[in-house]
Amino acid sequence: MIKTRGLTKRFGDVFAVDNLSLDVAEGEVFGLLGPNGAGKTTTVRLLTCLIAPTAGEAWVNGHRVGEEDMAIRQCVGILTEAPGLYERLNAEQNLTLYAKLYGVNDVGGQVQKYLDMLGLWERRTEPVGSFSKGMKQKLAIARALIHEPRVLFLDEPTSALDPEAAKLVRDFILEVKGEGRTIFLCTHNLDEADRLCDRIAVMRQHLIQVDTPAGLRQSLYGRKVVLQLQEISQAVLSTVRALPFVHQAQEEDRKLIVSLDDPEAQNPILVRHVVEAGGAVQFLTEQRHSLEEVYFTLMREEGETLSAGQEAPR
């Protein structure tokens, strides 16, 4: 659905996006993470044909950026960090204007559909300037979807929203995903990315790593389970360390932290051997690293690579 090959944008001597190659599947929620200035918004602007690339190629819904820009603009919806609504117009007038610009057939029906879906139908005649930030964000999402795009670009969709409004937006994203649309999400909210995204790319001008949230965790930390025991004897410790599928076993305050490749298959065997060695297992959990830990580890490693004088991938 979205494909880039060596996509690059340079402003003077500064690379905003450098040699970016990505593949985003149809119906996928794809997250793009990175610090301020990493090139996330520039990437969205390139893929929605708001600016032209300096080098490289990109395709959206089968249309090539730079050659079929009008077709791309017709099949994508975009939510920018600043909604940019006409505040003197009411909600219904805002959506009607954009529906006509997109050539929507049933303008009234589409306007009512999305205002109602986002809980704004009863407020449709009120000027947008009187709306809260959350209401404006919901209206901006409705505007992005008014022409039923196949691809939706969301740049910080829950930025500065209160918890209730942010949850409504997240639930709506999942609802849109359920309709088979492709969603390209830029966010600083790592917990949000973890919950919503099928895959995540971390970038700082260039691509650092891309994988599922679980894949990112496993590539950096492996998988570890924690066995809480009444007591950890030497017999239990020796037994666990002797198991062929155990990479490492560490004792920590009546907890046994064990590195495994496949906990789902190996946990029953592990527990059986611990019990046979005289261990009393109180509970077992998987040690889970947050996406925040993953992100900062990748950023730290990237900084160490650059400070060591190694050139970033081009």
- CA–CA dist 255, 53 (Å, integer): 53
C-alpha 291: how far from chain center: 11
pLDDT-based confidence at residue 308 (cuts at 50, 70, 90) = low
C-alpha 20: how far from chain center: 17
Phi, psi of 260 (to 5 degrees): -130, 160
Over the stretch 234-246, which tens digit does the pLDDT of each residue have?
999 999 999 999 9
- CA–CA dist 268, 266 (Å, integer): 6
Q: Are strands 2-11 and 55-60 parallel, antiparallel or unpaired?
A: antiparallel
CATH class of 222-287: alpha beta
Q: Where are the domains of the chain?
A: 2-211, 222-287
Q: Report the phi/psi class of residue 205: left, alpha or beta, with left for phi > 0 and alpha for psi in -120 to 50.
A: left
Average the pLDDT over 27-33 and give the result: 95
Check whether 102 has a pLDDT greater than 70.
yes
- CA–CA dist 185, 44 (Å, integer): 9
Contact 56, 19 (CB under 8 A): yes
pTM: 0.83
- CA–CA dist 233, 3 (Å, integer): 55
| Domain 2-211 of CATH type 1.20.81.30 | no
User: For residue 83, which of 22, 49, 125, 128 has the smallest C-alpha distance?
Assistant: 128
Residues making up the chain, counted from first to last: 314
User: For residue 150, which of 113, 177, 170 has the smallest C-alpha distance?
Assistant: 177
pLDDT value of residue 307: 64
pLDDT value of residue 172: 84
Tell me what percent of the residues of the chain surpass a pLDDT of 90: 73
